[in-house]
Amino acid sequence: MSDPFTHGHEMYYKIKELQDSTNNMVTAGFSTRYGGVSQKPFRSLNLGLHVKDIDHNVIDNRRRLAESIDTQLDQWVFADQVHGSDICKVEQTDKGKGSKSLESGIIGMDGLYTRERGLVLALAYADCVPIFFLSEESHIVGIAHAGWKGSVRGIAARMVDTWVTNEEVAVDSIHVFVGPSIQECCYEVDQRVISQVDDSLDDEDPRPYTAKGNSKYQLNLQRLNKQLLMRAGVPEKNVHLTKLCTSCNVDRFFSHRKENGATGRMLGFIMLEQ
The pLDDT value recorded for residue 255 is: 98
Q: Is the pLDDT of residue 46 over 80?
A: yes
Count of domains for the chain: 1
pLDDT at 31: 98
pLDDT of residue 21 exceeding 70, the answer is no
pLDDT digits (tens, 9 = 90+) for 90-110: 999 999 999 999 999 999 999
Closest by CA position to 268, among listed 170, 119, 131: 131
Residue 22, pLDDT > 70, answer no
- CATH number for 16: 3.60.140.10
- The range of the structural domain enclosing residue 139 comes to 5-272
Element housing 7 (H / E)? strand 5-9
pLDDT tens digits for range 206-235: 999 999 999 999 999 999 999 999 999 999
Cα–Cα distance measured from residue 84 to residue 118, given in angstroms and rounded to the nearest whole number: 26
pTM: 0.98
Closest CA to 85 of 200, 235, 218, 247: 200
Averaged pLDDT for residues 11-37: 89
Confidence of residue 18 (pLDDT cuts 50, 70, 90): confident
Report the Cα 158 to chain-centroid distance in Å: 15
Structure confidence at residue 19 as a pLDDT band (50, 70, 90): confident
Q: What percent of the chain has pLDDT over 90?
A: 95
